Each structure stands twice: as C-alpha cells, then as structure tokens.
Structure 1
Amino acid sequence: MKVESVKAELDEYIKKNTSVITSGVYSDEVQLDKYCKKVSQIKGKYPQFHKVFGRVVQGFKAEWQALGEMQFKAKVLQNFRQKVNLEIIVDEIYNTWLSDLKIEGKTPEEQPISKVIIAELLEKVIDDISDLSIIGDRDGGKADGEFGYSLNGIAKVLSIAQVNTKNPLFTISLNTPTSLNILEEFKDFERSVPSKVRKKVKRIFCSENVRLMHQDSFIEKYGDHTGFNDSRLNVTETYKWEIVGLDNLPDNVIFSTVEDNMLKLVDVIDNPPLITQTQIQDYVLKIFMEFHLGYDFAINELIFLADFGGVKKTGLNNEDLNKLYYSMEQLND
C-alpha cells in the first residue's frame, strides 16, 4: 500500500470525524478529569472572579449603619497550547494492520487503516495526558521537544498555590502518615476542613500508595468486626468522603476541595483539538495535531492541603483572610 494512498484515506477520515478527535483528546478516560469541572472556552490566560461577603446581619436601630463589604477576588487561570508531531512508517503499520484483520476476521472496509491509525494515536495521547495531568511541570524543563513540561499537572498547581500569599490555599497541619497512624491522620484532616464547607467536600485525594496504606490499616483494625464490608474500604471514617488514589501523585500530597472547584481548562469553541495537516516525506507520513489544555482550581481558598512540615498553621495563614473566609473557625488562636 502506497504512502500516498494512506494519506488520502487518512485525510478523508479526519475530515469526516472531527468530533472523534475532540472527544478522544478530552476523554474522561483520563483519571483526574473524572473529578474536574470542564471550562470549555479558554485559550491562554483567563481571569476568574469570585466574591466574598463580610458579616451583614445586625440588630435593628432606626439609622443607617453600614456593616459588611462585598469583595471581589481575582485569579488568572491558564491553559497551554499542546502539539503532537507523529511520524508513521506506512509499511510497518500496514503489515500490522493486515495481521490484525486476519486475527479479528474483518475486512478492510470494516476496519480501515485510517481508523486504526487515529484510534492508536488517541490512545497514546490519552495515556500521555493522564500522566501530564498529575506530574506536568512547566518549570521543570523545555516545553517543546520533550515530554513532561508542556503543562502544569495538579501536583505542580498545588505547589504553586502553596506559596501564593495573595490567594492562599488552606493548609492542614498533619503528621506524616504511616501504617500506624494513617487512620487518625485522615480523621484529623477531615475534622480540620472548615465546618461551613464540609458538606460540599465529597473526596479526599492522595497517591495510590497512601490509599492502599489506609485500606490495609482499616482492614487490620476493623476487618474482624461483624459490621465490616468492602464498601467502607475507600471512604473516610468521619464524613464518608471517597478516598481517591491518583496514579503518580507524590505520596506527600493529600488534598481535598469542594465540588466543581478543580478545573480542566480546554478550548472546544474557537480552537478545538484538530489534526491540522498530514505530510509525506520520503516513506514517512507525518501527522500534526494541536489542542489546548490546563488544570487549576477556581478558588485557592477552597483547597485543603495537608502540610507535613510543621511550618504552617492550619488555615489560610493570613489573619485577615481567615476572618473573611472562615470567621467561625478560630484559626488565628
């Protein structure tokens, strides 16, 4: 099969199946994406605002007495332009395709080579995004020409928020979890989340190693009890939050947030994921793909992150902001 024929078939398939590219790149098969709210028209930087009220209710007196203030807080969200430059040696993929057709008992019409190429490409893109969503680090290396540095994954996003003094996250001082203390540390974490927002928290995120450590400790403590069942293994003891083990998340990262605060930043309106062109060079077929992607939190003050260094107190570590956001929590004592 000539490379020109494959290119022609591939171009036709891409033209007729643009939605396959978009749904593939922004697939829910990426583990983190299952827990993110999708913000769908962001290209580059995007200002995000939220408002905070001080106390407004007071006893009646027949005169004007201003109380409370509406404050607008701003945060800049950002996604990053990504690309895929894939080279395909047509002879190699053609022989594999013919073998697969024989094994699966299908005809070329039922399983065209163009469909196979796109399916395998998207499978790899999803795999890469799954890793980048956690470990990506724009400051760690060169964004273009290498893997790992094209966007900030959630671990990097948390580390940036950790040193943000204008919009600080909420730190929770804990001991480093071990198999001996992990159940108590998770309880302390739950109970340290401000009471005003606890009902809006559904999950606690940690590494898969830490999740398994919690599970093993839970079984060791309660496994012989008559009321024990597997449904209790991956929820916290106090508020029954789901414990989510994120692949590749560092073991020293444990965090929660309210529903819809963790964001996946995409652009499906003006710049949806596209295979922009294909080219032939010698025996090689080149595929060019582009899309925009990023991860962040809408409001840093609603991120609850375990701190094992003992340097920061539980809270926003800012007296005025503690009073503004969590006035009932006695965080400045």
Structure 2
Amino acid sequence: MFEKVLAAVFGYFSISSFAKGKDGKSLLSAEQETKLEGKYGKKFLEEFKKDLSEYEKDGKPAESAVTEELKAEMAAEKEKDATALNTANERIKKLEAEKVDFQAQIETLGKKPVPDSGTKVVGESGVKTKFKPDMNLGFNQHINAVLKGEIGASYGGNTTVDTQELQTEFGRYISSEKMEIFRSLLCTTDSLQYMTTVITDKFKVKASTAHITSVLQSFVPHWTPKGKTTFTPLWLEQFPMKINVEVIPSDIIDEVLGYMYDESMEPADMPIVKYIVENLVKPTLDEEREIAFAIGRFKEPTQDANGNYLANGANQVCNGYLTQLCDIKKGGNTEGVNFIFDGKDLGTGNTLLTNVEAAVDEVKAVYKNKTMFIHCDPDLVLKYSRAYRDKYPNSKNEDGEKVKVDYTKFSFAPLEGMRGTGAFIITPKENFRHLISRNPQEQKLRMKSEDYSAKIFGEWREGVGFWIAEAIFAYIPAALVAQLSPTGSTSAGGGL
C-alpha cells in the first residue's frame, strides 16, 4: 500500500527521487513538506515521513518501490475508477430524469378523483365484547337483576358478593384482557408522552453511542475520523414497584350500580372487576406515578420490630428525573449537563418573558433547529402566558393552549409532576428515556380472597432518566436542589 502512496507523491511532485542525507536516507525539502501538508493535511505528512523512514531502514531506497509494474497497475486502477465514475454519473442523470417523471405523474394523479373500487364490509349488530361475565355467579346475577328492575332485587349486605367467586371472575378477566389492563394501568402519563420508552430486563442501562456532529472533510488516503463531540452517557435505572389494593366488594356494589346506571351499560359491558381496576386503582396510580417520575427519591423498604416490611411512600419508589438533575448539580456537575440561566431568578411579568428567552438562547446551536419541548412546572406556563397576554393584549393565541417561545422551535409542555418546582428541562425526546421491565403481556396482576375482602397484587419494574448529559438543558432553582438533594447523594440507587 505504501508503494502506491509513494508513487502518488512522486507523481504529485513530478520527480523520480528525493534528496538524500548523509546517511543515504531520503529527505523532504521544506517546500515539499509545505506542499504535502497543504494538499493532504498535517496528519498525512507526519504519517508519510514515518512510513518513509520505516521503508528505508534496511537500506532499501524509496525509489526502488516505484516499478514499471506498479505504474501500470496504478494506471489501470485510475482508468477503472474513471470508468466507474462515468457510469455512476450516467446513473445519477437517469435517476434524476426518472424523479422528474414520477413527480409529474404524482401531480397528475393528485388532480384525478379516486374511484370507489373497494369492497364494503358491513359489521354485525350486537357484537359481543371479548370478555363475557359468568352470569352464574351471584354478584353478576344481582347486578343484572337490579339494573333490569326485577322484583325482589335488593342489596343484601356482605352476603351480596362471594369474594371467592369474585376471585374466579377476576382471574378470567385478567386472562382475557391482560394486555388492555396493563396498558391502562401503566399507560402514558403526562411526562411519558414526551419520553422514548425502552423495554429491557436489565436493572441498569447506559448509552453506548455518540451523536456525531461533523463528518464531511477533504479526501486524503488515510483514516482521519472527525466528530470529536464530547458526550457523557448516563446510567438509567429501573426500580421494582407494586400495587397492593384491598377492596371490600360488598361496599362498592352501590358504586358499581350507580356507575352502570349513569353510563347506561349492561353487566356484560362493565363487569365489576373492570370497574375495580379502572375506577379504583388506575386514577390513583396515574397520579402517583407522575409525581414519582418527577421528584421521587428511592428509599429501601424498612422493617418494623417484628420483621414486617413497612410500605414506603409513592414518591419513594424510584429516583425522578428532577431528583437526578438535582443530584448532578449538587455533586458539582462532573457529567456535563447544561444548567442554563443558572443561579438566577426567572422573575415575573416582563422580566419573566425576557429571562425565559435568555435561557432558551443558551441552548447549543446544534439543537436550536430541532423541534423540542420545554418540559416544565405548569405554574410557570400560566405565569408566562399571562405576562405575554399583558404585554401584547392584542395578540391572539392561534394554537389554543399550546404556548411557544417566539422565534424558536421550543414549545412549553407543562408536566403535573413538576408543579411547584419552578424548573424546566429542554431535551430531545430520544434523550428523555423511560425504562420498563417487560411487555404488558408478561406483567402480573392477581387477586386473593380473605373473608369479606379482596386483595389485588401487581408487580413490575420501571424508571425514568436521561441518555446523554450534554443534550440536557435544564433550569433548576437552588431551592429545588436543597429540597430534592439536600446531601447530593445518589447512593439510594440513582439513575445516573
């Protein structure tokens, strides 16, 4: 390979040999070195001189490498490359012509009406739902009788619902509706819609690739990689979570009946177990997950004097994304997160408008042309919107509730879990990550009967965080750091 490079250099200088030193080794003049560096770069020059010295270390002169056979071989390769280039150029011209033809066809077809040549499919009336309640069970018979107004149908206290029958029905319902149940329970919360979800069985994951920002360069016959962007991958961790819900079925019969009356449903459309899952478990779970994802701080469950585990708080099941950023800031930010408008107060009124614009101006240029959201405290959006209305009373928000910072591609995304924090985060969706342990089909949800109560159990693993530190632009007030990271410790299983 070096022989060909050497021949190319001789050809570039139009010479057949180099000057020689006292030791008989080839020397490049200062003018030749300047020309080579200007043509191929400093890296090439250094490597060429090194290879030249290595080639001649056994007394073999550089000129001996350039044989007539080598010249003929290189000439043939040059002719072959020229032919391939001409072929490629012709192919490009042909494709460009085809592109023009296709665009003309698309424009012509777009003006023509589409003929109704499809097959019309008529659905059957009264199609049954996927799950059909067992009407042999006492509580389904009771609900059905009450809804139909049958004589003698009345509430009979604890004897109305046999919890063992309810457990049987629950198991049947979970088996047939498992995917839908966990999609419902672990559905997209306010913040999750702005994240990229990753399904993995690993407790901790870390980014393994960088975002390359520059690849174009002049040709030289050496490997000269660019894309020197510094990036710091962050650890993301998911935490084991569960729900334990105790239900007294006899206490909710009236609620179920009232709900079904209001919704004009039949027992087959709203079995009691579906009501329990969707109306007793899901609303609270949604709210608590959203708060935990934002400001949660994981705490290992503790035991009492008898060795029984104590239930920890909903905001102690994982480390939230704001908690992670507060830990980084408290720890000196060795990871390289961009804390924008740091140490300053956003203020109110016109000052708030000015300061938000100043903050978003700190986002690096490579991200400014990318449509991104300002994930933030909902109170901040309200203050910003009112300040904007007061400053420009004749302006109209054409996008409804969507609030955008003027002359940027950044729109506010209020997240309920961030309420009261005063913080905001700007980062691409692919950098804002949500981890979950497995597909919903593999999650567990079950019921256990005890006397007049029914206990619901469910387990999964979940967590949130960020992929690359340098792609985060965050405004984190000092008061929030003091609240969420008083010691700056991530020893409780942080996601970083």
Measured against the shorter chain, the TM-score band is: 0.7 to 0.9
Number of equivalences:
304
Measure, in 1, the Cα distance between the counterparts of 2:166 and 2:340: 56
Q: Letter of the aligned partner of 2:210 in structure 1?
A: K
- The structure 1 residue matched to 2:184, chosen from 24, 27, 30, is 24
The answer to whether structure 1 residue 132 and structure 2 residue 292 are counterparts is yes
| Structure label with greater radius of gyration | 2
Aligned-partner Cα distance in 1 for 2:167–2:447? 7
Residue 321 of structure 1 is matched in structure 2 by none
Q: Which runs of 5+ in 1 are unaligned?
A: 310-333
Deviates more, 1:47-56 or 1:253-262: 47-56
Higher RCO (CA 8 Å, separation ≥ 6 residues)? 1
AA aligned opposite 1:147? A
Instruction: Measure how far apart 1:58 and its partner are.
Output: 6.5
CA contact (8 A) 1:21 1:273 kept: no
1:145 equivalent in alignment to 2:305: no
SS in 1 for 2:340: strand
Give SS of 1:160's match.
helix
Matched, 1:171 2:339: yes
Q: Which runs of 5+ in 2 are unaligned?
A: 1-160, 303-309, 479-496
1:192/1:91 CA distance change after superposition, 3 Å: same
Task: Report the CA distance between 1:234 and its aligned residue.
Answer: 0.7
**1:216 equivalent among 365, 386, 395:** 386
1:7 and 2:167 aligned: yes
Deviation at 1:274, TM superposition (A): 2.1
The residue number in structure 2 matching 1:186 is 356
Mapped pair 1:84 → 2:243: yes
Alpha-carbon distance, 1:33 to partner:
0.9
Matches within 5 A, 1:42-61: 42-51=201-210
- From the superposition, tell whether residues 18 and 144 of structure 1 become closer, same or farther in structure 2 (CA, over 3 Å): same
SS of the aligned residue for 2:430 comes to: coil
CA contact (8 A) 2:179 2:441 kept: no
TM-score of the aligned structures, taking structure 2 as reference length: 0.55
State the 1:21 CA deviation: 2.4
The residue that corresponds to 1:280 in the other structure is 449
Would the aligned equivalents of 1:22 and 1:272 in 2 still touch at CA under 8 Å?
Answer: no
Q: Give the whole-Å Cα distance in 1 for the aligned partners of 2:253 and 2:233.
A: 53
Q: CA deviation at 1:102?
A: 3.8
Structure 1 pair 218/69, CA: closer, same or farther in 2 (3 Å)?
A: closer
| Alpha-carbon separation, structure 2, partners of 1:100 and 1:269 | 31
The one-letter code sitting in structure 2 at the alignment partner of 1:44 is F
Alignment of 1:1-333 (within 5 A): 1-28=161-188, 30-51=189-210, 68=226, 73-120=232-279, 121-138=281-298, 144-162=311-329, 163=331, 165-174=333-342, 175-180=344-349, 181-225=351-395, 228-231=396-399, 234-249=403-418, 250-269=420-439, 272-275=442-445, 277-306=446-475
- Rounded Cα–Cα distance in structure 1 between residues aligned with 2:286 and 2:213: 44
Q: Which residue of 2 aligns with 1:325?
A: none
When you count strand as a share of all residues, which structure comes out higher? 1
The change in CA–CA distance for 1:34 and 1:164 in structure 2 (over 3 A counts) is farther
> C-alpha distance in 1, partners of 2:268/2:224?
74
Q: 1:10 to 1:46 in 2, by over 3 A?
A: same
Task: Give 3-state SS (helix, strand or coil) of 1:176's partner.
Answer: coil
What's the CA shift string for 1:227-282, capped at 9, x where partnerless?
A: x434386100130411122224143312201232101111234984320x321222
Cα pair distance change 1:147/1:65, threshold 3 Å: closer
Q: Deviations over 1:18-60 (max 9, x none)?
A: 10222113312x1001101111224411232123669777667
Q: Check whether the contact 1:272–1:291 (CA below 8 A) recurs between aligned residues.
A: no
Kept in 2: contact 1:80–1:151 (CA 8 A): yes
Structure 2 distance, partners of 1:283, 1:239, is 59
Query: Residue 474 of structure 2 aligns to a residue in which SS?
Result: strand
Query: Partners of 1:297 and 1:69 in 2: how far apart?
Result: 22
Shift of 1:5: 1.2
Determine what percentage of the aligned residue pairs are the same residue.
19
- Please state whether the residue corresponding to 1:192 is helix, strand or coil: coil
The Cα RMSD (Å) is 2.9
Query: Quick check: 1:43–1:80 contact (8 Å CA) kept in 2?
Result: no
